[in-house]
Amino acid sequence: MRLAIDVMGGDQGPQAIIAGAAKAAVEHPALELILFGPRQQILAELSRLPQPLAAATSRLVAREAPDSIAPSTTAAWALRKGHSSSMVQMLRCVALGEAAAGVSAGNTAALVALARRELGMVEGISRPAISTAIPVRQGRRCYLLDLGANVDSPAHRLVDFALMGAAMAQCIDGNAMPRVALLNVGAEATKGCVSVREADRLLREYGSRYGFDYHGYAEGGDLFTGQLDVVVCDGFVGNAVLKASEGLTSMLVERVQLAFESRFTGRLASLLAKPVLKRLKQELDPVRYNGASLLGLRGIVVKSHGSTHADGFYYAIQRSLKEVEHNLPARIAGRWQAPLNEKSGACEP
């Protein structure tokens, strides 16, 4: 299997992305990774890989892409002038069928716009949504979308997100009837903006037709109860919720460690509890959940955090492999019986 990697997108530079790619290649002997960026720079980084990562260099192929898209670049500029960038070349590799999926830690707005142009959308879906899984109670996970691709979404787009999130839970987790909710400021029917209330009406009317259990509105605290499999919101809200959750998780883990270390008796207890604390930190570490899917495209594209290090990028690659294994775009397309009519809000026969 081949994956295409944009090595120039991350804040940590090519070194972290290439190390993460090498780690994935070591773990998956049948995996080949095509690395897009300045070829000489890629080769130099490959030569510096430590053992045992260096054992995978024969399956890490450097492809020339002289330009990169900066974090400050607008999507409009990327569409006009980004043709020779590592991000565009990575996406075209996927579009041409040379790679089964693409992974980038680059500019989110540019990646969404370019992926939509290069790969196209599944019929019936207007725009891609960014989705990732968050850890919740009972050892479960909940898919949250959108996380920033669409800052202000009308009702029909929120319904699209619900359908795509449900398909993700069905395909990846084998959940036959995912529990889906709309994130809102309260559970009452009169609360929320017009688009959320209209999306609620549509989902109540047509949700069962698309194979999921619609639970109505969810508040912020409901995300982590383990009672929901998919929570839908616009990209502004979703991005804020995700980043706040990651920050809170890091703070809580640090506070627990400091509490044990602040006193002598605490330090003794810390030694006894060290295995439990280590497991807790691993389970809640945002790095393990790095990698957000661009749902609705005709191909598989995974967005990694821009600030991620090698381990985080490795997990983003792992996510793309799962989506390839389940042929996620085709599964999503197959669940569309008919698109929602944007003007009337009714399902076409």
162: how many CB neighbours lie within 10 A of its CB?
Answer: 27
pLDDT digits (tens, 9 = 90+) for 32-69: 999 999 999 999 999 999 988 998 999 999 999 999 99
- Per-residue pLDDT averaged across 182-200, rounded? 87
pLDDT score of 88: 97
Task: Please state the pTM of the whole predicted model.
Answer: 0.84
341 pLDDT above the threshold of 80: no
Q: What is the pLDDT of residue 196?
A: 92
User: Does residue 5 register a pLDDT over 90?
Assistant: yes
Query: In the predicted model, what is the mean pLDDT of the chain?
Result: 86
What mean pLDDT do residues 172-195 have? 87
pLDDT of residue 346: 36
How confident is residue 193, by pLDDT bands cut at 50, 70 and 90? confident
Domains of the chain: 1-128+296-349 (3.40.718.10), 130-287 (3.40.718.10)
Summarize pLDDT for 305-336 with one digit per residue, the tens: 888 889 999 999 999 999 999 898 988 887 76
Tens of pLDDT, residues 138-164: 778 899 999 888 888 899 999 999 999
**What is the model's pLDDT at position 190?**
77
Question: By C-alpha distance, which of 47, 121, 133 is closest to 339?
Answer: 121
Both tokens assigned to 291:
């990698």
Determine the pLDDT at residue 286. Answer: 60
- pLDDT tens string 107-147: 999 999 999 999 999 988 888 999 988 888 877 889 999 98
pLDDT tens column, 261-319: 666 555 556 565 666 666 655 665 666 768 889 999 999 999 998 888 899 999 999 99
pLDDT at 287: 66
Mean pLDDT, range 189-214, rounded to an integer: 85
Cα(229)–Cα(67) distance, rounded to whole angstroms? 40
Give the span between the Cα atoms of 50 and 315, in whole angstroms: 19
Give the residue-averaged pLDDT of 166-187: 89
Tokens of 293: 């899917």
- pLDDT given for residue 34 in this prediction: 97
pLDDT range class, residue 99, cuts 50, 70, 90: very high
